[in-house]
Structure 1
Amino acid sequence: MMKKLFLLFIMALSGTALSAQQVGETEQNSLKHNVNRLSADYFIPGRFEGKTILITGGARGIGKWTAVRAAKEGANVVIMDWLDKEGRHVADSLNTIGLKALFVYGNIQKDEDCRKAVEETVKAYGRLDYACLNAGVMDGVFSGTPFKYDESQRKLMPNVITQATDEYWDNVFATNAAGTFKSMRAVLNQMIEQRNGGAIVVVGSIAGMTGLSGNPAYVASKHAVNGLVRNAAIDYAPYGIRINSVNMAETRTPMVERAEEFVAAQQKAGIGFGMGKIKTMSLLKYCDSEHRGSFPWEQASTMLYLISDEASAITGSIIATDGGWTDF
């Protein structure tokens, strides 16, 4: 009440008329506050001391931030990725500051590469306690290739079903669905052999919980990923192995940045009806003063929580880490 009276007094002094509604809106806006963001530097010392974590797709984005934080928390980190240079750089950077990290080149589309990653993990650290199956793609172009809106890439990029190519569909499913299955299988075989339980977290997406415009392979493959998580959680609970997925909306990663370049190129070319514009923000992004999406270290935080013993009562959960996207 005092604030409202003060506003009316100031406006009176300036000779400007202000309606009661405008005063109310001004007062309401003054109450707005951004969500308190997790610091990129935050970690829990010693949480994973002596534990070994395999992270697929750990060369950049969410996987990289998961690897960095896990190593800071005492874990032996193994990064598997098909981005050789970037993956080695992350592992080398962690080793340079006295943390424990190993890079294994591999493509989760290949069963032999998935088995090799697990074998190298056990060879280096003696066992495998947890896995973060983060590797995934949004289109059919190799993720290390710079974006170009040319004929060679367009056929591998997202499109509505009637315009989508087999190559686009097959490439996305080979990584997201088949690759997640093959990497999970390799991890589960090792955990069962060890007879000491374990935990796996898989990166899904809001695309695995809802529909999204213009990217049928991504949506369908992420629904497949979440179906696999639900199935595996049932079958491997008797072994003491917990399996969950995290499902984010827009997160500031290289994959999302390339998707934004693609959408901008499509709009410039006048392609489509713009159905993707119906909903473009999560609750938290909309309310943020800078309209920011989530950051990769925020997603990493939830992933590491889910594999830790702190989440010992959680399995088979498809958890929305989406800033409220699926809430409305």
Structure 2
Amino acid sequence: MERRDLLKAIAMASAATTASGLSLTTPAQAQTPARRGIGVHDISPVSPDYFIPDRFKGKTMIITGCARGMGAVAAQRAAREGANVIGVDWLDKEGADHMNAIAKAGGSVEFVHGDVGENETCDKMVKTAVDRFGRLDYALNNAGVMDAIFPGDPIDYDKQKNLVFAQVHEATDEYWDACIKTNATGTFKSMRAELKQMVAQNDGGAIVNVGSVTGLIGFGGTPAYVASKHAVNGLTRSAAIDYAAYGIRINSVNMANTATPMVERAMQLVRMKMAAAGNQPSMSMLKTDSLLQAADSHKRDSTPAEQVAVMLFLLSDEASNLTGGTYATDGGYTAY
């Protein structure tokens, strides 16, 4: 099973122990590699080395979830574009190592270890920005989880299955609470701390929240993730209304399958969940590919660099007329 099949596989795995009146996928089909895309010309992803010199020169930016995936790529590119970067993550060593590597390459960075679901972390990241660089101009609230297993822990499915995504009737409090705390509450608490400082500065600013395509549509098998990402988009729209008068723009990005460690680990959990359920056929999603996935000869996922390009654009002065947008950076997934 390839990473691009995550959306379909999660729904299959979460429903595998439930009798269904509609079987769309057999065990054999679930293990069959996807056919090649239908397009005649592939779109090349933006180079991970691409950046715009001095775009954020002299500006200070908070990036949560900086240790891995999109947050790590965003921290690296923003620093290359001149930003002073405050990287925040609960993966202490991995986050510190990444930020130190950026500093050694000439970037202006600080690392804050902590959980964005806690007020102490959110207050500390803003205080660090002000103490070190004098102000806060931008924030990218990227930290997020799909399950309740701590990202730094090895997977032991038999002991951790109560922490894994599941349909509502099988979902546990531990799974629900962890996703809501990081994705919804963490975004709220991050924004609250960031906006307090931006309002006090009275000099505008911009915030981008990282949602998901599951925050734009319904999706099976991951109720806490779906609910939390809808909350992210609701917070984005609500705050955009309140803070436009302060010159603060607030938008969100909402991607489909993207090649990140979080998605890779989710696929590992999906395989374990399906195996534990005996690979029984179940009701699955009717659509799994975005337009660009369906057309690409390898049906590739989007890349972190593609997503970060939009995030940083929305933070930049080039996006001066954009606020309250919940942008579908999903390769056309929600277009049909």
Please, what TM-score do these two structures have when normalized by structure 2?
0.86
CA displacement 1:15-68 (0-9 Å, x = unmatched): xxxxxxxxxxxxxx9971001320110000110011111000111100000000
Contact 1:199/1:242 (<8 A) preserved: yes
Partner residue in 1 for 2:122: 114
Contact 1:77/1:102 (<8 A) preserved: yes
Partner residue in 2 for 1:308: 316
Partner residue in 2 for 1:265: 272
Deviation at 1:276, TM superposition (A): 3.9
Q: Using the alignment, how far apart are the partners of 2:130 and 2:284 within structure 1?
A: 44
CA displacement 1:182-221 (0-9 Å, x = unmatched): 0100000000011100000000001101112111000011
Partner residue in 1 for 2:333: 325
Match of 1:107, as an amino acid? D
Which residue, 78, 92, 96 being the options, matches 2:86?
A: 78
Which residue, 243, 251, 272 being the options, matches 2:250?
A: 243
The answer to whether structure 1 residue 223 and structure 2 residue 237 are counterparts is: no
Deviation at 1:286, TM superposition (A): 1.7
Partner residue in 1 for 2:207: 200
Q: Using the alignment, how far apart are the partners of 1:80 and 1:100 within structure 2?
A: 14
The answer to whether structure 1 residue 156 and structure 2 residue 156 are counterparts is: no
Between 115-124 and 140-149, report the one with greater CA deviation.
Answer: 140-149
Q: Which has the larger radius of gyration?
A: 1
Across the aligned residues of Structure 1 and Structure 2, the Cα RMSD in angstroms comes to 1.5
CA displacement 1:113-145 (0-9 Å, x = unmatched): 100110011111111000000001111111211
CA displacement 1:271-305 (0-9 Å, x = unmatched): 67544453222111121111110011111110000
Deviation at 1:169, TM superposition (A): 0.6
Please, what TM-score do these two structures have when normalized by structure 1?
0.88
SS at match of 2:209: strand
Partner residue in 1 for 2:21: none
Tell me, which stretches of 5 or more residues in structure 1 are unaligned?
1-28
**Residues 220 and 271 of structure 1, relative CA distance in 2, 3 Å threshold:** farther
Q: Using the alignment, how far apart are the partners of 1:326 and 1:311 within structure 2?
A: 23
SS at match of 1:59: coil
SS at match of 1:150: helix
Tell me, which stretches of 5 or more residues in structure 2 are unaligned?
1-36
Q: Using the alignment, how far apart are the partners of 1:309 and 1:272 within structure 2?
A: 51
Deviation at 1:266, TM superposition (A): 1.9
Contact 2:38/2:294 (<8 A) preserved: no
**Residues 272 and 135 of structure 1, relative CA distance in 2, 3 Å threshold:** farther
Deviation at 1:157, TM superposition (A): 0.6
The answer to whether structure 1 residue 296 and structure 2 residue 294 are counterparts is: no
Partner residue in 2 for 1:6: none
SS at match of 1:212: coil
Deviation at 1:148, TM superposition (A): 2.5
**Residues 265 and 77 of structure 1, relative CA distance in 2, 3 Å threshold:** same
Partner residue in 2 for 1:178: 185
Which residue, 40, 44, 60 being the options, matches 2:48?
A: 40
Between 102-111 and 31-40, report the one with greater CA deviation.
Answer: 31-40
SS at match of 1:202: strand
Identity across the alignment (%): 56
Deviation at 1:101, TM superposition (A): 1.1
The answer to whether structure 1 residue 166 and structure 2 residue 205 are counterparts is: no
Between 217-226 and 283-292, report the one with greater CA deviation.
Answer: 283-292
Match of 2:249, as an amino acid? R
Contact 1:214/1:276 (<8 A) preserved: no
Q: Using the alignment, how far apart are the partners of 1:187 and 1:175 within structure 2?
A: 16
Deviation at 1:256, TM superposition (A): 0.4
Contact 2:179/2:224 (<8 A) preserved: yes
Q: Using the alignment, how far apart are the partners of 2:238 and 2:283 within structure 1?
A: 32
Which residue, 185, 188, 200 being the options, matches 2:195?
A: 188
Deviation at 1:147, TM superposition (A): 2.3
Match of 2:212, as an amino acid? S
Contact 2:39/2:297 (<8 A) preserved: no
**Residues 283 and 30 of structure 1, relative CA distance in 2, 3 Å threshold:** closer
Q: Using the alignment, how far apart are the partners of 1:233 and 1:275 within structure 2?
A: 38
Match of 1:112, as an amino acid? E
